[in-house]
Amino acid sequence: MPVPIKKKTSSPPEIARTPFFYPARISLRDYDRIILEIGPGRGDFLFHLAEKNPEAVIVGIEIKEKRVAKLIRRVENRGLKNVVIILSDAKDVIEKIFENSSVEEIHINFPDPWPKNRHSKNRLITELFLEKCALILKDGGAINFATDDFTYAQAAEKSALCVKRIKLAPPSEDQFPTYFAMKWKMSGRKLNYFRFVKT
C-alpha cells in the first residue's frame, strides 16, 4: 500500500507541530520499553535495534520526508512489527511525544555538525535539547551520541556537563558500524563516541 506522504509539504516548523506517525494508530504507552533513534537516515542501525530488542518498540524520528518514505518501505519489506517512524523535528517534539521517564535509550549517530560558527545554533546537541532528553529518559537511561566533528564533540560534552541530571559515562566498546561511521573511518576521520547517563 502506498505511503501517504506528499511530495511537497510545508516548512519544518509546521511539520514539527503536526508529526506524521507510521503506523498511524499506535500508542507508545502500550510499551514498557521504548528505544529512540534521532535521525535514523538509511535505517540500518534502527533495524539492528529492532532485531536485537524484539520486545521493545524502536522509534525513529526523521526530519526529511524522502528518508521517511524510504524507511517505511524498508520496514514493510523486512516485516518489522516493533518499529515506529515519525516525521518531525526532534528538537521541537520529543517532550510532547514521550512521557517523562518513559524512554530507555536515545541514539544520535552522526547528526549534521553545522561546522560554521554562524550555523552552530542549528546543532541538535545543545544544553536545552539534552535537558529535554533527560526529562523523557528513565533513571539510568542513556543518550548515545556519535560525531566525526571534533568541535561538535567538544561542544556536546560541554553542554552535557551543564545538565544537572546527566553525567558522562564510558561509551560502549562495541559500536555498530553505521554507514557514516564506516565512511568517515575509511576517510581517516577520528570518530567521537559519548554516553550521557541520566542519574
Identified catalytic residue from 44, 112, 139, 148 = 112
Give the three cell numbers for residue 32.
514498557
CA distance 40 to 42: 6
CA distance 171 to 16: 31
Is 112 marked active-site? yes
Cβ proximity of 3 and 22 under 8 Å:
yes
Buried b (16+ CB within 10 A) or exposed e, 146-184: bbbbeebbebbeebbeebeebeeeebeeeeeebebbeeb
Q: Is the peptide bond before 170 cis (omega within 30 degrees of 0)?
A: no
In contact, 101 and 136? CB cutoff 8 Å: yes
List active site positions: 112
